[in-house]
């Protein structure tokens, strides 16, 4: 995912002289090609994220298109006020790319987890919050972000995530991508949970449940049309994310559902719990801890389905 990001960014920077890349002392070797091709438009800003975001706003207010890149918790929590005031308040078209988001760096401990940042950023007026699912979506999301006149947060994984899309999908910020159409259960997945959603859908299909799988990559602006269609069609809508059930995709959909009631329909939010992960764990183990595996999802989904309908 991160290599796809760097390659796409290099291509875009080569084509568009307004693109400037700011890194927070991360991505060793990742941007070598970009540095070689656009030597005057790559800056290692050091371990100083607040300054980096403020600078990005200054670049954007001067007509350039800065892309900031460092580890997700540091480019969000650390410099939230810079994102709010310098970027969002000024509607400065800055792309903020947080890498290793969610539980991608689980083994480094909770300092490196970002399971609350989408909820935090989603509150900021005028900031798009986008969590692509795989390398193909990352490329599309970055192209879309640099076309957007508004600031965008891009939530990235690390490297080696399974590629789901065989070809690059048409990627539009705020427009979810349907991978599989079903009529009974709808799985909405944000970010890199998509392969788990597909596995869970396979298990559900095997039990006779017609299951939709949707890459719900944008939390803001919320794709209300897709939500309306999901809740009209299916009796159970499940949100999946490597993010707290508070404030992220699950939170967004719950808020939407409160304003758009669908009687007899059920929302199940699957994400991380409202706690820090204190046990030593790699990403897969951390997902297991929070019940974010296909088999655990199946159990939870079966538990909420009316028993008469379980086949």
For binding to other proteins (CB under 8 A), which residues are involved?
A: 20, 40-41, 43, 45-46, 48, 50-64, 66, 81-82, 85-86, 89-91
CB of 126 to other proteins, least distance (A): 11
CB of 13 to other proteins, least distance (A): 12
Give me the half-sphere count of Cα atoms (radius 13 Å) on the Cβ side of residue 196. 24
Nearer to other proteins, 1 or 59 (CB): 59
Nearer to other proteins, 82 or 211 (CB): 82
Nearer to other proteins, 85 or 254 (CB): 85
Nearer to other proteins, 84 or 175 (CB): 84
CB of 124 to other proteins, least distance (A): 14
CB of 16 to other proteins, least distance (A): 12
CB of 19 to other proteins, least distance (A): 10
Nearer to other proteins, 15 or 278 (CB): 15
Nearer to other proteins, 126 or 160 (CB): 126
CB of 52 to other proteins, least distance (A): 8
Place of tokens 């979506």: 137
């Amino acid at each position: 995912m991160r290599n796809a990001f760097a390659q796409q960014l290099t291509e875009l920077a080569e084509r568009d002289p307004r693109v400037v890349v700011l890194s927070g002392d991360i991505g060793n070797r990742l941007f070598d090609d970009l540095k070689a091709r656009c030597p005057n438009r790559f800056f290692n800003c050091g371990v100083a994220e607040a300054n980096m975001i403020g600078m990005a706003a200054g670049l954007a207010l001067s007509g350039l298109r800065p892309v900031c890149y460092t580890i997700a918790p540091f480019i969000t929590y650390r410099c939230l006020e810079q994102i709010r005031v310098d970027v969002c308040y000024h509607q400065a078209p800055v792309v903020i790319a947080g890498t290793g988001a969610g539980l991608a760096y689980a083994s480094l401990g909770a300092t490196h987890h970002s399971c609350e940042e989408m909820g935090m950023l989603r509150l900021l007026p005028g900031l798009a919050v986008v969590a692509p699912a795989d390398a193909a979506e990352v490329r599309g999301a970055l192209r879309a972000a640099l076309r957007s006149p508004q600031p965008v947060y891009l939530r990235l994984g690390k490297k080696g995530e399974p590629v789901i899309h065989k070809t690059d999908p048409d990627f539009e910020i705020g427009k979810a991508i349907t991978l599989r159409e079903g009529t009974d259960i709808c799985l909405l997945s944000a970010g890199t949970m998509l392969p788990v959603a597909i596995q869970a859908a396979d298990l559900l299909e095997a039990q006779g449940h017609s299951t939709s799988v949707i890459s719900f990559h944008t939390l803001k602006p919320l794709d209300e049309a897709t939500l309306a269609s999901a809740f009209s069609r299916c009796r159970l809508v499940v949100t999946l994310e490597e993010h707290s059930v508070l404030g992220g995709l699950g939170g967004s959909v719950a808020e939407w559902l409160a304003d758009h009631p669908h009687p007899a329909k059920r929302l199940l939010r699957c994400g991380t719990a409202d706690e820090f992960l204190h046990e030593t764990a790699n990403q897969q183990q951390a997902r297991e801890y929070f019940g974010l595996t296909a088999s655990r999802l199946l159990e939870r989904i079966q538990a909420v389905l009316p028993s008469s309908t379980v086949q």
